[in-house]
Every structure is written in structure tokens, then in C-alpha cells.
């Protein structure tokens, strides 16, 4: 379970993680918009794994998911289900995920589930009716804002990635001021500065080099 404010980089981290995993050992299913029904969830999982949901009933789809996961396990692969915007999951969807987490062989679980959401998602598994789901959460990590040193490293990294070769140069005072401004602003402005500013910086550097 991974939580963090809007714009802190959860989805970016997720995509980087997916790109880095060993495809010989792992297969992943990514769901970016969980505003779906339980049936649509099962069909999406199958689709992400390259299969077609052929059954019309939910129980039939669960069996099909189970069969597909068993097939992948027998091929020596572990399956990762990653769900973004998990704060939008309904109780019924969370219960369906709990049931999917029960699928197992004598030696291992068939499905590893990673839930990513905004900070308000932290309280949802704490609800009494979801206590069984809460018991299955093994790790909870929260992304926190960068400190000033990390933020300075981030700026230099983005300039280098944009081909700036150290230009423009940000003084320590300028970095400190920007970092303080980010801390002062709302989450909406944090998203702008963390995502929009680097994109604009990249564009400006490209234009100046052209």
C-alpha cells in the first residue's frame, strides 16, 4: 500500500517500477481508473494479462482469473496487480480484491496486490467492515515531500535530463526560496511546481538550444 499527496509522483514511481521489473519473472496488470464495477475489474485484470473475459457471470470470471494465474505460476511467473487512485475504490471492489488475495496454491499466493492512493485512503482499511482486508496489508509506505537538499538534487537532475549542462544555474538561495514556496502553497500548486515547472524548463531549454 502506497499513499501520498496529489502530484508527489506515485504514478511516475509506479510506471518506473513496471519498466524495471524482470519480465521473465513477473507479469503486471495496471489499473489507473478504479471507478468500475467488480465485473469490470475482473475483465480488466484478464485484459491486462492478455486474456479475454469470456464468462458472463462474476463467479465465472473469478474462476477464469484463477485459471490464468495458475497458468502463469506454472510458467514460473509472479503476477502483480497495481491499482492507482485507490481512494476511489468502493467497498464492493475492496472486498473483491480481498477475495482475489485469497487465491493461492499450497506454496504461494497467486496474486500480489499494490494499492496506491491519496492520503485519505489510509483511513479506509481501518474501517471495521474492512478488517479482513487490513489484515492482508503487509507493507504501507507514504511518499513525503522532498527536503531542501533532495529538492536541489532534483532540480539539477531535471536540468541535466533536459540537456541544460548546468544552465540555468540555481543558487542555494534560489533553491531555498522555491522550496519554501512549495511548502507554503496548496497541493494544487505543489502539483504545478513539481510537474509543470520541469516540463516548461525542458521546453525552454530545447528552444534555446534550437
Domains in the chain: ranges and CATH: 2-142 (3.40.50.300), 148-209 (no CATH)
- Of the pLDDT bands very low, low, confident and very high (cuts 50, 70, 90), residue 191 is low
- Whole-model pTM: value is 0.74
Q: pLDDT tens, 37-75? A: 999 999 999 999 999 888 889 999 999 999 999 999 999
The total number of residues shown for the chain amounts to 210
Q: Are β-strands 112-117 and 2-3 bridged in parallel, bridged antiparallel, or unpaired? A: parallel
Rounded Cα distance, 68 and 110, in Å? 10
For residue 4, what are the contacts with CB-CB under 8 A and spacing of at least 6?
10, 116, 118, 119, 142, 143, 144
End-to-end CA distance of the chain: 44
Q: pLDDT tens, 98-128? A: 999 988 888 888 999 999 998 899 888 888 8
Amino acid at each position: 500500500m502506497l499513499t501520498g499527496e496529489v502530484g508527489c509522483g506515485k504514478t511516475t514511481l509506479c510506471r518506473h517500477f513496471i519498466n524495471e521489473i524482470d519480465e521473465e519473472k513477473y507479469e503486471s496488470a495496471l489499473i489507473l481508473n478504479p471507478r468500475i464495477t467488480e465485473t469490470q475489474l475482473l475483465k480488466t485484470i484478464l485484459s491486462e494479462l492478455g486474456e479475454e473475459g469470456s464468462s458472463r457471470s462474476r463467479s465465472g470470471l473469478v474462476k477464469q482469473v484463477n485459471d490464468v494465474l495458475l497458468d502463469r505460476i506454472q510458467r514460473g511467473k509472479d503476477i502483480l496487480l497495481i491499482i492507482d487512485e485507490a481512494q476511489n475504490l468502493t467497498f464492493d471492489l475492496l472486498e473483491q480484491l480481498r477475495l482475489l488475495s485469497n487465491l493461492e496454491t499450497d506454496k504461494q499466493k497467486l496474486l500480489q496486490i499494490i494499492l496506491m492512493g491519496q492520503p485519505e485512503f489510509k483511513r479506509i482499511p481501518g474501517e471495521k467492515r474492512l478488517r479482513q482486508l487490513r489484515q492482508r496489508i503487509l507493507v504501507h509506505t507514504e511518499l513525503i515531500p522532498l527536503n531542501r537538499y533532495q529538492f536541489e538534487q532534483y532540480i539539477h537532475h531535471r536540468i541535466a535530463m533536459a540537456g541544460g549542462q548546468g544552465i540555468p544555474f540555481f543558487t542555494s538561495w534560489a533553491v531555498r526560496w522555491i522550496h519554501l514556496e512549495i511548502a507554503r502553497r496548496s497541493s494544487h500548486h505543489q502539483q504545478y511546481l513539481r510537474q509543470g515547472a520541469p516540463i516548461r524548463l525542458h521546453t525552454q531549454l530545447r528552444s534555446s538550444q534550437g
